[in-house]
Amino acid sequence: MAAVYNSLALTSNDVCEGTHVTGRADVPNLVRVRTVEWPERESFIAHLDRLKKSRGFRYDIALAEAAEISHSAISNWRSGKQRPSLAAIGKLAAALDVDQRDLAARAGVAEGFTHASMPTQLPPELETLFDQYQTADPSRRDELLQRVAWVSEWFDATTSKAGDERPRRAG
């Protein structure tokens, strides 16, 4: 290491002067980075990546530019240093052409809205269905909605109503 400092005419004090450490980990040579409590982070980032890919954004920086937010903000979300603000969620939703409330609910920051469009914890099958809807082109969205309507009608037709003694059968 001293050879590196000498070749650059730097001392260890010069290197340390520009470095800010929030704390040392118990393991030598590891630095602990401050993170925020954000249980939805992994699922939000996975959803963001699917949306990004389906909308043709190859890199975070391209999405950040389209949303007019800092690309370091997305990097900070990925690393857990920050949670997205409602303002950033609004800009992302506009750039990705998705519902702002849905994106806020997925990020766990929907408390800024009176009603989130969906709960943040859904069964994986429904998460997949929502992802498929949001990433599909308009004609595929219509097909998906038709099938969802059929499932909803089937469910209503086969569910006992209050006062019914036996389940109803569909068609």
Q: What is the CATH number of the domain that holds 118?
A: 1.10.260.40
Q: What is the predicted pLDDT for the residue at 165?
A: 58
The span from the first CA to the last CA of the chain, in angstroms, equals: 78
Residues 111, 63 within the same domain: yes
Q: Are residues 55 and 117 in the same domain?
A: yes
Average pLDDT over residues 110-128: 65
* pLDDT for 168: 54
Tell me the β-bridge partners of 31: 24
Share above pLDDT 70 across residues of the chain, in percent, rounded to a whole number: 67
User: Rounded mean pLDDT of the chain?
Assistant: 77
| 139 vs 118: CA distance, rounded Å | 23
Quote the pLDDT of residue 73: 93
- Confirm whether 12 is domain-assigned: no
Same domain, 63 and 98: yes
User: What is the number of structural domains in the chain?
Assistant: 2
Nearest of 158, 156, 120, 128 to residue 144 by alpha carbon: 128
Alpha helices in 11-165 (DSSP H): 12-17, 41-54, 60-67, 71-79, 86-96, 100-107, 124-135, 138-158
The sign of the dihedral angle between the CA atoms of 151, 153, 158, 164 is positive
pTM more than 0.85:
no
* pLDDT at residue 116 in the model: 47
* 99 lies in some domain: yes
The radius of gyration computed from the CA coordinates of the chain, to the nearest angstrom, equals 24
Name residues whose C-beta falls within 8 Å of residue 53's C-beta, 6 or more positions apart in sequence.
135
100/85 same-domain check: yes
Q: Which domain holds residue 153?
A: 123-159
- Please check whether residue 77 lies inside any domain of the structure: yes
Q: What does the pLDDT look like over 30-84, one tens digit per residue?
A: 555 567 788 888 889 999 999 998 899 999 999 999 999 999 999 999 998 998 9
Q: Give yes or no: residues 59 and 106 share one domain.
A: yes
Q: What is the DSSP letter of 112?
A: G
Tell me: do 88 and 127 sit in the same domain. no
Query: 61-65, 86-90, 110-114, 150-154: which has the minimum mean pLDDT?
Result: 110-114
The pLDDT score that the predictor gives to residue 15 is 46
Q: What is the DSSP letter of 31?
A: B
Question: Are residue 96 and residue 58 in the same domain, yes or no?
Answer: yes
Measured distance CA(16)–CA(139) in Å, rounded: 58
Give the pLDDT band of residue 134 (cuts 50, 70, 90): confident
Confidence of residue 14 (pLDDT cuts 50, 70, 90): very low
Same domain, 127 and 113: no
CA distance 13 to 15: 5
